[in-house]
Chain A
């Protein structure tokens, strides 16, 4: 390869890197636009914003609908993620450690909710939710969201369990610890970062989910995405942008916590 040809390839490689960098930064633009329009005073969306005001934030804070929707979403998300995490941990233990029979089928079923279109599940769950008397209660949405959250803790915990040898647990048992003690003192501390990550993913999946909530909730159990959805279909005002900005800020903090917590955990 001649020198100039080499230079050409280096230039091309730099160009590609630059282009990808630009795309990645461009990915942030839609989100920044939402934040930008939230700080205007006009009652319709205009971009670029011409003035600065916190009017829509004030309205957002004073809006009881948002308050109850956020509360619902938090309760549903936390409960669903907790249920999904418990089921995910025990299934991962059965599949990876106990090598229980039927593990291939159980694994497939545990991952399936991640790829199955939610509308399919929603259509099937609605009659069951009615039949069980759950329709309109928080539990209807919690259980549905636990199902769609399950793949995340299942996958992360399976990954953590396969990352170290079961010798560690056998060692604990030769030292006198029974299965439960071994889980509490050895296995759980070792998979904790994966458990936390799985929980957060499941929580985020619940916070983002709209279709199941659309079918399974009542006005009193309305979730945040559902409220945003209704507002978008009704009348688009910058208040939605303000609400979205607050949600973005909170989720960003959550992710930051999710990425930093395991690291802090390791340092201790």
Chain B
């Protein structure tokens, strides 16, 4: 029985060892094999002004997209969580419908919408809100709009799950104690959905760090790290630098998820300690 359970790992081992673990090892070694000496690539990443700007841009966009996604996604999840039966199904279906369209197509859609003569500018000009068309695609605004559009489903799902798991008697209890709906939300619903907000934000932030398609099409002059890596590898054939950048992105991803996991463990321990007081 025992040695047989290992056989079940065989397919995944055959898939992940050469095509997931080995690539990680390859970029690890590649990043140290530059002509300028061991570690020179990492020094360059830290010191090169251009690269630092790219990293800053990537973080800035990812952070903005995370905030925007949360601001739009939370109310959606909140309303969906209170819907019942068919309406809830329809709501979830609607939120996932664009999710199924390919990222290239969704980015293309925003290229049309946000173009200089696109419908958004025509409407804004038409109602007299602006006098000159907004250059969405040059200033990074279009990129953030399109990325938020793509990321919202990723934050709605975990928050929706969290909100649905809240015992409906808790807000009721708060109401009985005299809290109005807004205070019920602040005292019960929001704190209880915090762990899921953290999960959703982490997923959105990390995914946004790795975006390639949308920034390439809608970023204008703005370069993000995925584009830089691709450019270094494909066009400039500087694999050591590309690998060093990839390793940094990889480590960042691991660190962010480790932080999330640590905070989850800490809050669980806190809950345990708390329940211990009453036990």
A residues whose Cβ falls under 8 Å from a Cβ of B: 1, 5, 9, 12-13, 16-17, 19-21, 23-25, 27-31, 33-34, 37, 45-48, 83-84, 86-88, 90-91, 93-94, 98-100, 102, 106, 109-110, 112-113, 115-128, 132, 143-144, 146-147, 150, 179, 204, 207-208, 210-211, 214-215, 224-225, 228-229, 232, 236, 240-241, 244, 247-248, 251-252, 254-255
Contacts and interface: CB of A to CB of B under 8 A. Distances in A.
B112 interface: yes
Contacts of A251: 100-102
B102 A207 contact: yes
B278 interface: no
A208 B16 contact: no
A208 B103 contact: yes
A9 B100 contact: no
B66 interface: no
Interface stretch (B40-48, B113-121, B164-172, B267-275): B113-121
B212 A119 contact: yes
Given A232-B108, A232-B217, A27 B95 contact: yes
B97 A13 contact: no
B15 A146 contact: yes
Interface stretch (B49-57, B133-141, B187-195, B203-211): B203-211
Given A19-B75, A94-B8, 9 more contacts: A27-B97, A33-B109, A90-B9, A117-B226, A117-B249, A123-B23, A179-B4, A211-B213, A251-B100
A86 B243 CA distance: 31
A24 B95 contact: yes
B151 interface: no
Contacts, number: 240
B61 interface: no
A117 B217 contact: no
A84 B11 CA distance: 9
A167 to B, nearest CB: 17
List the 6 closest pairs (A to B, CB-CB), nearest first. A117-B210, A124-B23, A98-B5, A94-B8, A30-B109, A100-B5
A83 B15 contact: yes
A120 B203 contact: no
Contacts of B253: 115-117
Nearest to A111: B257
A37 B110 CA distance: 13
A143 B15 contact: yes
B119 A47 contact: yes
Contacts of A48: 119
Nearest to B89: A259
B226 to A, nearest CB: 4
Contacts of B250: 116-117, 120
A171 B82 CA distance: 40
A142 B209 CA distance: 25
B265 interface: no
B79 interface: yes
Interface of B: 4-6, 8-12, 14-16, 18-27, 30, 72, 75-76, 78-80, 91, 94-98, 100-106, 108-113, 115, 117-119, 122, 149, 152, 180-181, 203, 206-207, 209-210, 212-213, 217, 226, 229-230, 233-234, 239, 242-243, 246, 249-250, 253, 257
A99 B25 CA distance: 28
7 contacts: A20-B91, A115-B207, A115-B257, A117-B249, A208-B104, A210-B213, A244-B102
A31 B234 CA distance: 32
Contact of B206 (A30, A115, A240): A115
Nearest to B106: A30
Nearest to B119: A47
B230 A211 contact: yes
Given A119-B212, A120-B249, A28 B97 contact: yes
A143 B18 CA distance: 10
A91 B94 contact: no
Given A33-B112, A94-B5, A123 B242 contact: yes
B15 A120 contact: no
Nearest to A73: B102
Contacts of B109: 30-31, 33-34, 244
A21 B149 CA distance: 15
Given A87-B12, A240-B108, A17 B79 contact: yes
Nearest to B117: A46
